[in-house]
Structure 1
Amino acid sequence: MKFNFRHIATYRLILVLVVLFSFLKSTAQESILETQDTLELQDPKIYFDRARIFSNQGQTDLALEELEKASKAAEENEDVKSLINSYQEHALLYLKLNKEETTYFFWDRAKALLKDIEYPYGDAMQKYIEAILLFHDGKNFQAIFLLNEAKHLNNDRNFFNNVLLVEAKIYMNLEKYESAAKNFNSLIINTDIYESEFLAAKAYLGLAQLNFVTENLEESASNAESALKLAKENAFAKEIWEANELLTKVYESLGKYDSSLASNKNLLHIRDSLFNIAKMKTETKTAEKIQFDFMSDEIRRQEQKIEELNESKNQSDIAAILTSALLIIITLLAVSLFRNNQIKLKTNDLLQTKNTELKGARDAAVTAMEAKTNFLSTVSHELRTPLYAVTGLTHLLLEENPSENQKEHLKALKFSGDYLLNFINDILQINKIDADKLEPMNVEFNLKKILQEVIDSLQQSAHSNDTDIILEYDEDIPSHLMSDPIKLSQVFMNLVGNALKFTKNGEVKVIANLVEKKEENVKLYFEVKDNGIGISRDQQENIFEGFEQGSIQINREYGGTGLGLTIVKSLLGLFDSKIQLESKLGEGSSFFFELDMKSKDALVDDVPFEISEKDFEFKGLHLLIVEDNKINQVITKKMLTKKEITSDIANNGGEAIDLAKANKYDGILMDIHMPGIGGEEATIEIRKFDKITPIVALTAISLDDSLESFYAAGCNDVITKPFKPEVFYQKIGENIFDNKNLRSSVT
């Protein structure tokens, strides 16, 4: 019986010890999890991005940790596609480590999941990985074949760039140096949003190796130095090693032994650094093993003493030993908790630092965007002012009965002025979209009328190319729709204009079809189709980028800025729509997209989109021209004289205020940007003693948000320079004669 009591007392103490140990252990785990929760996010894409960065920097262990997190997040979210991506990224990482058996293991896991879902990107990646494995086995042509299949399955730019890199390496193996160089050169100027610098570094290394093999040693050294510079700037460890290794050989072949020795020393330094890091990791693991062995031995010794004390019936010694063991465990847990707390504090400091850096980067980006916007606004004004002189004088000369030869030259001058103005407008349109200064309107309009107006305005261009424009319009489309007719007109002006430019002796079709209609919600399909020169598959990749026209030859032959399709893409983005393209070289192109709109079935009468022009009797009017530019003064005065309108001229805002006080004018044409007292300030002063006389701002501004301040100052309307003469006269007539009754009643 006594033996049993001793055992019961011992077991009770052990039970208390275990409970207390479990409690402290769970507390420590909660602290660790709390720290992890602060850091870890549930979006697998974030982990993929981190893994890519660590992998490129040679930190494979950290990259693997991020991929493990991505796998767990994908499983928790039941995101099969992200899980496939995780397995494929694992496969690629182990491929870099030359562990092909592990690569095949993850590749097979991804392959099994792909059988059950439709996932083109995943299928493309499978072929990409398989192609690399074939390449490693020396099966170059099979690898090229699979890479071509992969490119047809997916058009992701980062994926396409990596395919180009692998292709270049295969071409090197096949001694197709021209093809390899083409791929490497295209990667040097890549626009990849994830690995631009890494791909460029790899491309420079490839070119350096290629030039070394073909004995172009100076070029090889130059490319290797470029690769080394990029690798150092971005901490690409493997590429730093490869660049130094190659430079050692290249400089030795060139007889530049000092440079060769310097590169070789770099290699020794890198190797020593890697050895030290590996040594530190080994020492850390050894220390942990020693601590674990020590704790295991201590527990075994304590258990042995308990057995001895049980036999000697000394319960007080058992309690003392258990207490001692408990204190040891508590101490170890306290140290663990302290270390976790320190990690948490450092992590929070790191996050705060990163947030500060991100905020600074964001502020810098905003400042840069504002500077760009202001710069373009200033450049716009400076370009539009002389353009006003060019277009204005051209218009006046064309009306003065020039000879046929002179008329031909003047028309060419007018065309050049219009072309330059359109180019400026395209640049500013892109700038407004980038600066988020455009928002779609939601007004009522007639779609068929908008399309017909676009086609009518481009008929002259069509006739010059012997091309027909055909409108195929679905009459089931409601006649009254709600959207932004102006931006829609811009989209079709660019698409149809682009089609006409590249189509001769053919036809351009503008197609509008009703896809579905549910109550007031309408989905429409639009297509602009031509049978012109077409676009090759390679050119289609970049055709929507700014200043892209497919090739230099196309730009030289057909002209243009290459901004039309970029504007289309950006404008459709405002409507949450996406432009798509199908084309075959030599057979034509088709641009198509869908738009969601609202219909207004209750309305019957057509709503006019534009106010029809009026004929005004200008004879006898007396205006004040406020303009600091002497040439513009002459042009504006002559244009008024053509309509038998007399005028006075003020050279600045101060003179304008004095003349407006001393004389009675039917209207004032106010330039805005003038030295001294500007147009806005002068308008404010004039409105203090004259509320009635129409004031029309005559300015070279172009950004939409600038107009508000003109109206706030007291302007009745705005005419943007350079302008069409008919618009100039129309605005003057509307603002003077529409206000005539008001002026009479005040008088």
Structure 2
Amino acid sequence: MGKYHYEQAIEQSHNLLSLAKQQENFYYVTKAYNYLGHAYTDQEDSARARKNYTLGLEYAQLSKNDTVLMHSYNNLGNIYSEIPETQEKGIAYYNKVIDIANRIGATSELIAPKTNIGWTYMDDGQFEKAYPYIDGSLELMNSLVQAKPEYLKEIDYFYSPIYMLHGRYYSHKNQFDTAKNYFETSIQLAENDSLIFEAAEAYDEYSKMLARQGDYEAAYKAQQKFIDYKSMFFESEKLKQTEIANAKYNLNQYKKNLLIAEKEQMYQNDIISKSKEKVIVMVFSSVGMIFILVFLYKVNRDRQNLIEKLKVKNVQYRDAKIEAEKLSLLKTRFFSTVSHEIRTPLYGVIGLTSLLLEDKSLNKHKGDLKSLKFSADYLLALINDVLQMNKMESNEVKLENVVFSLKDLMKSIVNSFEFTRVQNKNNIILDIDPKIPSFLIGDSVRLSQILMNLVGNAMKFTERGNIHILAKQTNTSEGKSSIYFEIKDDGPGIPESKKKVIFEEFSQLENSNYNYQGTGLGLPIVKKLLKLFNSKIKLESKEGQGSVFSFSIDFNVDNTIKEVEKVEVETYAIDYIGRKKILIVDDNRINQVVTKRILEKKDFDCEVAGDGLSAIEQVKTGSFDLVLMDVNMPGISGLEASKEIRKFNKDIPILALTAVEVEEIREEIQGAGMSGFIIKPYDVQQFYQIVYKNLSLSRLTEKA
């Protein structure tokens, strides 16, 4: 296209387009559309140019090639920025080029869009908006050339227009000496490289500046230079217009030749039709062709109608999908916010209730307090069930691999149901196979959720009966252990018609135990969690004969930890002796009181900070052994406060207190330099264990 052979360029671009589409090569489809866009741009057919550039952008996005994608955005930026009404749209396309170049580290690709944005703003009279872009382009070019001098050959043609734009800016600021230096440098570069258009632009703007300065003689000379270069540019444009006209003429001539060829063919057909035999053949052929054409017309019409309907449906489905994604995101945010807002006051309720239960002077109210704590625990379990289901629907639940003791896990689960067991007058029989390895590797939290839901379900439907919990090793090989779990109850059993229904969300069977109602989410959660373990829940039940839920999970075995060592560490943590000083950081006064009273029961010295800034100052000036840091606080958050503390104190344990689901902020907690986390509301004994563990680890670090 450098010699304006537009007809050849358009024809070859169409050939490239056809071949590339046949091979589904989106990269070359994009290139072909961009070539067509360049050809129509030179012919000043902006409508066709814009259409081809837009199609090029669509295929550039499909190609996933950042280079052609940047060129497509830049082409559209050039089209739209030339029109005042669409100037901002053009700048938006340039900014897309900048975003991609920054992401992939293509520094040289930043020069063109930045220069174009600055030029657009300057032509619009927005000089201050323009300056950061043109100055940034110049800095980029200088840094590239300084790092790799060979870059100069690739980008030297940018220097002249960028210096000219700097001259325009400083002329606007009335800093004429600086502007003069930039204009003269721009002119020199343009003349050295024979850049006619750039030289004309520079002399024109230089002449305007000299006239404003009052140097009319120099302005006149610069204007003469501008006229000379403009004449040269017009000669080039005249040649270009001539070639365009020739191209259009050649295209028209091609059409005329085609019309003549068609007329000749018709004449030959008339001659052939004089033959009787051929006339008969032609008649029958024509009739057949008519039927075929009618059939094809009908098929094509039906196809077009179906395509139009399909387009409408696709638009509807796309809009529905976008709306559904928005609603799903809103639902996730809603549940996350509600969980935090409910868990925070629950922390106060559960914490204060636990403290009151330990007060011997309130023994006559012990039953009421236990009921209160049970209700709060039930409400917390309800919140956790709803959140768990929401997370699984959003595919946010991922299994983790941690070392854990199955024996300790199952004993802990049994202990957590002690209050309910006594209330329903049930017996729990725990049977753990001694062949099961002491330490397994897997997601103990998700396993605990499965067992808690199944045991809770058995407890819910059983009164004055037995609940059997079995864990048995069924197979072991190459560091893996297959464990079979079974939860059996003496409850009323499940009718055959209800066996599938109970695994659906919010479905419940009738239950005579009104003290233990549920959400109907327990078994659906179990089913979905087991799917993550590549396992399935099995149910055996007859009405009036109880129920048996069972499943199997494969775990890796950890042989590196000895059980004796674990007991020693736990004993050391629990029996930790020594008066330690702890800073409690929380903006909620009730939470401050609860946490402080829980810690003071174990003879800890406690101080309180109501916000992150106070916490930073108190750690700087005081001597604390551990910090309990609330994550969500007004002003400076707990995460930001922890980062500041880590700048001057690397060793002090900082535990995050949060009512948010920990999976949502685990990475942020670790990134802030926190030692661990405690989820509110928490179990008091578990709370003590985590505090003791971090204090003991801190002490071991100090000794080392």
Instruction: Name the TM-score, length of structure 1 as normaliser.
Output: 0.51
Q: Which amino acid aligns with 1:528?
A: I
Alpha-carbon spacing, 1:471–1:373, altered in 2? closer, same or farther (3 Å): same
Mapping of residues 203-602 of structure 1, within 5 Å:
316-442=275-401, 450-451=409-410, 453-455=412-414, 457-458=416-417, 461-471=420-430, 483-512=442-471, 525-551=484-510, 554=512, 556=514, 558-595=516-553, 597=554
Alpha-carbon spacing, 1:354–1:524, altered in 2? closer, same or farther (3 Å): farther
Residue in 2 aligned with 1:649?
Answer: 608
CA contact (8 A) 2:460 2:513 kept: no
Deviation at 1:625, TM superposition (A): 2.0
CA contact (8 A) 1:618 1:645 kept: no
Deviation at 1:440, TM superposition (A): 2.6
Deviation at 1:736, TM superposition (A): 3.1
Question: Aligned equivalents of 2:578 and 2:444: distance in 1?
Answer: 36
CA contact (8 A) 2:480 2:556 kept: yes
Residue in 2 aligned with 1:638?
Answer: 597
Alpha-carbon spacing, 1:732–1:507, altered in 2? closer, same or farther (3 Å): closer
Deviation at 1:438, TM superposition (A): 1.4
Residue in 1 aligned with 2:656?
Answer: 697
Q: Secondary structure at the match of 1:529?
A: strand
CA contact (8 A) 1:474 1:513 kept: yes
Q: Secondary structure at the match of 2:275?
A: helix
CA contact (8 A) 2:403 2:441 kept: yes
CA contact (8 A) 2:435 2:473 kept: yes
Alpha-carbon spacing, 1:521–1:395, altered in 2? closer, same or farther (3 Å): closer
Q: Secondary structure at the match of 2:429?
A: strand
Deviation at 1:389, TM superposition (A): 1.4
Deviation at 1:654, TM superposition (A): 2.4
Q: Which amino acid aligns with 1:589?
A: S
Alpha-carbon spacing, 1:714–1:483, altered in 2? closer, same or farther (3 Å): closer
Residue in 2 aligned with 1:257?
Answer: none
Deviation at 1:504, TM superposition (A): 2.7
1:679 maps to which of 626, 629, 638: 638
Deviation at 1:429, TM superposition (A): 1.9
Larger relative contact order (CA 8 Å, sep ≥ 6): 1
Alpha-carbon spacing, 1:462–1:389, altered in 2? closer, same or farther (3 Å): closer
Alpha-carbon spacing, 1:520–1:333, altered in 2? closer, same or farther (3 Å): farther
Deviation at 1:450, TM superposition (A): 4.7
Question: Aligned equivalents of 2:515 and 2:494: distance in 1?
Answer: 15
Question: Aligned equivalents of 1:689 and 1:329: distance in 2?
Answer: 92
Alpha-carbon spacing, 1:626–1:477, altered in 2? closer, same or farther (3 Å): closer
CA contact (8 A) 1:618 1:643 kept: no
Q: Which amino acid aligns with 2:543?
A: L
Q: Which amino acid aligns with 1:560?
A: G
Q: Deviations over 1:324-360 (max 9, x none)?
A: 3323322432343344344444444444443343333
CA contact (8 A) 1:388 1:632 kept: yes
Instruction: Name the TM-score, length of structure 2 as normaliser.
Output: 0.54
Q: Deviations over 1:347-391 (max 9, x none)?
A: 444444433433333332232222222111111111111112112
Matched, 1:665 2:624: yes
CA contact (8 A) 1:444 1:607 kept: no
After superposition, the CA RMSD in angstroms is: 3.5
Question: Aligned equivalents of 2:603 and 2:480: distance in 1?
Answer: 53
How many residues matched?
A: 430
Question: Aligned equivalents of 2:452 and 2:317: distance in 1?
Answer: 40
> Bigger shift: 440-449 or 383-392?
440-449
Question: Aligned equivalents of 1:333 and 1:716: distance in 2?
Answer: 79
Q: Secondary structure at the match of 2:514?
A: helix
Question: Aligned equivalents of 1:741 and 1:464: distance in 2?
Answer: 44
Question: Aligned equivalents of 1:587 and 1:521: distance in 2?
Answer: 35
CA contact (8 A) 1:668 1:696 kept: yes
Q: Deviations over 1:679-727 (max 9, x none)?
A: 1122222222332222111221224232221221121111111122222
Question: Aligned equivalents of 2:417 and 2:356: distance in 1?
Answer: 26
Question: Aligned equivalents of 1:464 and 1:504: distance in 2?
Answer: 9
Q: Which amino acid aligns with 1:673?
A: N
Deviation at 1:489, TM superposition (A): 2.8
Q: Deviations over 1:506-551 (max 9, x none)?
A: 3223345666678777765543222222233444342223333312
Structure 1 unaligned runs (5+)?
1-313
Question: Aligned equivalents of 1:658 and 1:363: distance in 2?
Answer: 47
Question: Aligned equivalents of 2:693 and 2:474: distance in 1?
Answer: 42
Alpha-carbon spacing, 1:659–1:368, altered in 2? closer, same or farther (3 Å): same
Residue in 1 aligned with 2:695?
Answer: 736
Q: Which amino acid aligns with 1:680?
A: L
Mapping of residues 116-265 of structure 1, within 5 Å:
none
Question: Aligned equivalents of 1:449 and 1:744: distance in 2?
Answer: 30
Alpha-carbon spacing, 1:631–1:509, altered in 2? closer, same or farther (3 Å): closer
Alpha-carbon spacing, 1:555–1:374, altered in 2? closer, same or farther (3 Å): farther
Question: Aligned equivalents of 2:561 and 2:677: distance in 1?
Answer: 34
Q: Deviations over 1:112-141 (max 9, x none)?
A: xxxxxxxxxxxxxxxxxxxxxxxxxxxxxx
Question: Aligned equivalents of 1:474 and 1:398: distance in 2?
Answer: 36
Deviation at 1:473, TM superposition (A): 5.9
Question: Aligned equivalents of 2:646 and 2:501: distance in 1?
Answer: 53
> Bigger shift: 683-692 or 384-393?
683-692
Q: Deviations over 1:657-683 (max 9, x none)?
A: 333333332222211111222211222
CA contact (8 A) 2:481 2:557 kept: no
Question: Aligned equivalents of 1:441 and 1:469: distance in 2?
Answer: 29
Mapping of residues 714-725 of structure 1, within 5 Å:
714-725=673-684
Q: Which amino acid aligns with 1:369?
A: S
Alpha-carbon spacing, 1:404–1:517, altered in 2? closer, same or farther (3 Å): closer
Deviation at 1:475, TM superposition (A): 6.8
CA contact (8 A) 1:445 1:609 kept: no
Residue in 2 aligned with 1:628?
Answer: 587
Question: Aligned equivalents of 2:699 and 2:481: distance in 1?
Answer: 44
CA contact (8 A) 2:442 2:556 kept: no
Q: Which amino acid aligns with 1:736?
A: L
Structure 2 unaligned runs (5+)?
1-272
Q: Deviations over 1:549-581 (max 9, x none)?
A: 312x54635433333222212211222333233
CA contact (8 A) 1:480 1:599 kept: no
Q: Which amino acid aligns with 2:629?
A: M
